[in-house]
């Protein structure tokens, strides 16, 4: 955790992004580091956990990190939490809470709440179109015998 916090401090001092850092550890060794690079890369998905996950997957040449754990300087936001679940990381260690982050202007409560709102009531309109055509692709995928499941 000390390394994740040090990364978050270095990140703000170098003006690369917000005060967030993360490391991914496998068998007691750090295999990937990440910081928040949103403003320096103009990428809204470049959160510390995401950049660390991308690096770990590149290093291990695998999209599943089930034998790894993540240390984050802050409780993961909904996007990062989703990526953590998809990557199969466990456990997740964090220092600051989402409440601590909200105090300094990083308030993700709207996002946490949006997941419980029906599609018709969400802040961003969610409009389903061309379902039948898209289902054809799903059926094709489902019939593949050599697909890589994840």
Q: Is 114 a catalytic residue?
A: no
- Catalytic-labelled residue, pool 14, 49, 75, 145: 49
* 16 DSSP assignment: S
Rounded to 5 degrees, φ, ψ at 30 are: -70, 125
Distances (CA, A) of 68 to 2, 60, 82, 137, 148: 17, 11, 16, 33, 21
Rounded to 5 degrees, φ, ψ at 94 are: -145, 155
Distance CA 115, CA 24 (A): 27
Distances (CA, A) of 47 to 6, 21, 33, 38, 44: 16, 8, 11, 7, 7
Active site residues: 49
């Amino acid at each position: 955790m000390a390394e994740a916090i040090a990364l978050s401090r270095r990140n703000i001092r170098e003006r690369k992004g917000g005060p967030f850092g993360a490391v991914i550890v496998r068998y007691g060794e750090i295999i990937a580091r990440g910081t928040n690079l949103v403003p320096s890369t103009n990428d809204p998905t470049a959160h510390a956990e995401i950049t660390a996950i991308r690096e770990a997957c590149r290093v291990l040449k695998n999209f599943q990190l089930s034998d790894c754990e993540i240390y984050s300087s802050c409780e993961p936001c909904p996007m990062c939490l989703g990526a953590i679940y998809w990557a199969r990381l466990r456990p997740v260690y964090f220092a600051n809470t989402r409440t601590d982050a909200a105090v300094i202007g990083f308030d993700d409560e709207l996002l946490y709440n949006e997941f419980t709102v029906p599609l018709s009531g969400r802040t961003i309109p969610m409009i389903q179109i061309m379902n039948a055509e898209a289902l054809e692709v799903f059926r094709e995928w489902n019939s593949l015998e050599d697909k890589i499941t994840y």
